[in-house]
Every structure is written in structure tokens, then in C-alpha cells.
Amino acid sequence: MYVILFYDIADKALKERDNSRRIRKIAEQYLPRVQYSVYEGEMRASDFKMLNEKLKKECVNEHDSIVIYTFDSLRYSNRIVMGQDKNQNIFS
């Protein structure tokens, strides 16, 4: 499956614990980073399940936002990049 993940983590002043580093490290274990808080790439369903479980534990629902898009096929997709493409080998 193909996955696009992006997040917006609230400042530590708004909540009891600063989880931004932990969320970034979890995402980097499974997907290549293409922007500061955007990751995309292919992954197995089993890895996606583990990623999802780990992120749920770290996310502070009242303050953080993690969005994940999954695609079974990229057949009808079109990726447009303006400027430097930091993940050039995605569609090769």
C-alpha cells in the first residue's frame, strides 16, 4: 500500500508532554520524509498497523493532528512537485 502521512503537533506549552520528537521518530522508522512533517512511501499492511498503533499512543488528541492517506494503487494518481523533489524515486 502507498501511504502519505503528515502531522501538526501542538507546542509543548499547550500540553503536559512534548511528543513531537517521538512522533517524528516513529514516522521516520516506516516512511521517508519529503517535507518537514510529511512522509510518503510504500509499506506493508503489517507495518502500517504497527505505525498506526504507535502513533495513537503518542498523539494527544486534544492538541495534535496526524493525517494519514492510504492508497491501494497509484494508478489514477498524479504527483506534482514544484521546486526540489526530495523523494524522486517514488514512482519509478
> Domains in the chain, please, with CATH?
2-71 (3.30.70.240)
Q: 3 pLDDT exceeds 70?
A: yes
Give the pLDDT of residue 7: 93
Classify 8 as helix, strand or coil. Answer: strand
Give the pLDDT of residue 38: 94
C-beta separation of 87 from 32 below 8 A: yes
Give the pLDDT of residue 73: 87
Q: 35 pLDDT exceeds 70?
A: yes
Q: 92 pLDDT exceeds 60?
A: no
* Dihedral sign of CA atoms 19, 24, 25, 27 in order: positive
The identity of residue 70, as a single letter, is T
| C-alpha–C-alpha distance, residues 13 and 51, integer Å | 26
Q: 90 pLDDT exceeds 60?
A: no
Tell me the chain's radius of gyration from C-alpha atoms.
14
As given in the structure block, the three cell numbers for residue 5 are: 502521512
Where does the pLDDT of residue 40 fall: very low under 50, low under 70, confident under 90, or very high at 90 and above? very high
Most distant CA atoms of the chain, gap in Å: 43
Using CA atoms, how far residue 30 sits from 3, 11, 22, 55, 90, in Å, is: 10, 24, 13, 12, 15
pTM of the model: 0.82
Q: 91 pLDDT exceeds 60?
A: no
